């Protein structure tokens, strides 16, 4: 079963020789989020992706999995939980229930006991068993590889479907929007129609318009890695961020 890859120490922009000219006391002067022309925003997005590839050339899904089914279940469990917690739970779950057929017939109480630490364990158990029953009954026991089919599964919406399609099937059908991607999309000015960083539908639509399609999956993974390591929710490390010269929000946070 593959494990999440580790990245080394992140160089600061000045160390890497990539710091664009900054206005005094802050970031490079960039247009406000809603004012930037789309063509310029697309060019800036490509530069952001290029920097992310220098920082995280191997960015990938942090959920441990060895099959489409394992990734699907792990993603369902990851809601309101951490990847670390999910990665501790799934080996036990998959050893006991290795197939969709086994999970479809699983005792809910037993599954609840195994996944309890991920939170919302009753609803997650219901979604897992329900999804596996649908996979067995409608898809011959195999996880489907289309958005239309995946969102028919109980507990599966666009975010989960995008994770499975992009990470396992290598199909860029949409952009995953989790808490990190929503936050960074707003700070980086890669969304302009969304109300806030929780407006996942509009954020995804904007990202799909501004990012090259063949970069949708990679950019999602890389933004999550960057959000965890540098652009954190409460105290982003703008002074150590290689994207600061491309970010309209850089150096605007107090404390």
State pLDDT tens for residues 188-244.
999 999 999 999 999 999 999 999 999 999 999 999 999 999 999 999 999 999 999
Q: Residue 144: pLDDT band by 50, 70, 90 thresholds?
A: very high
What number is the average pLDDT over the span 34-45?
Answer: 93
The tally of domains found in the chain comes to 2
Pick the more confident residue, 103 or 26: 103
Q: State how far the Cα of 129 lies from the Cα of 106, in Å rounded to an integer.
A: 7
- pLDDT score, position 253: 84
Structural contact between residues 166 and 173, judged by C-beta atoms closer than 8 angstroms: yes
> Residues 104, 82: one domain?
yes
Q: Mean pLDDT throughout 92-108?
A: 98
55/85 same-domain check: no
Q: Which residues are catalytic?
A: 159, 178
How do residues 7-21 score in pLDDT, each as one tens digit? 444 443 333 333 333
Q: Are residues 79 and 98 in the same domain?
A: yes
Instruction: With respect to residue 13, please indicate whether it lies within any of the assigned structural domains.
Output: no
Assigned domain for 126 exists: yes
Phi, psi of 45, deg, nearest 5? -60, -40
Q: Note whether 227 and 191 are same-domain residues.
A: yes
Contact of 86 with 118, CB cutoff 8 Å:
yes
Supply the range of the domain harboring residue 40: 22-60+174-246
Of residues 102 and 25, more confidently modeled: 102
Local structure of residue 35 (DSSP, 8 states): T
């Amino acid at each position: 079963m593959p494990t999440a890859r580790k990245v080394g120490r992140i160089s600061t922009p000045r160390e890497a020789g990539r710091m664009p000219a900054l206005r005094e006391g802050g970031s490079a002067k960039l247009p406000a989020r809603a004012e930037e022309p789309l063509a310029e925003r697309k060019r800036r997005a490509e530069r952001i992706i290029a920097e992310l590839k220098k920082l995280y050339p191997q960015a990938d899904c942090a959920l441990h999995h060895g099959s489409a089914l394992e990734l699907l279940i792990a993603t369902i469990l990851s809601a309101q939980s951490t990847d670390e917690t999910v990665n501790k739970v799934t080996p036990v779950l998959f050893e006991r229930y290795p197939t969709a057929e086994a999970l479809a017939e699983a005792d809910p109480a037993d599954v609840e006991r195994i996944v309890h630490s991920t939170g919302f364990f009753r609803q997650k158990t219901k979604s897992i068993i329900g999804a596996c029953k649908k996979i067995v009954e409608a898809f011959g026991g195999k996880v489907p590889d289309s958005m239309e089919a995946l969102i028919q599964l109980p507990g599966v919406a666009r975010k989960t479907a995008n994770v499975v399609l992009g990470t396992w099937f290598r199909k860029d059908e949409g952009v995953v929007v989790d808490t990190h991607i929503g936050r960074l999309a707003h700070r980086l000015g890669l969304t302009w129609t969304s109300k806030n960083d929780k407006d996942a539908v509009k954020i995804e639509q904007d990202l799909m318009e501004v990012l090259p399609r063949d970069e949708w999956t990679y950019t999602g993974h890389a933004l999550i890695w960057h959000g965890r390591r540098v652009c954190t929710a409460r105290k982003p490390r703008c002074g150590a961020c290689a994207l600061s010269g491309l970010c309209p929000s850089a150096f605007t946070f107090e404390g």
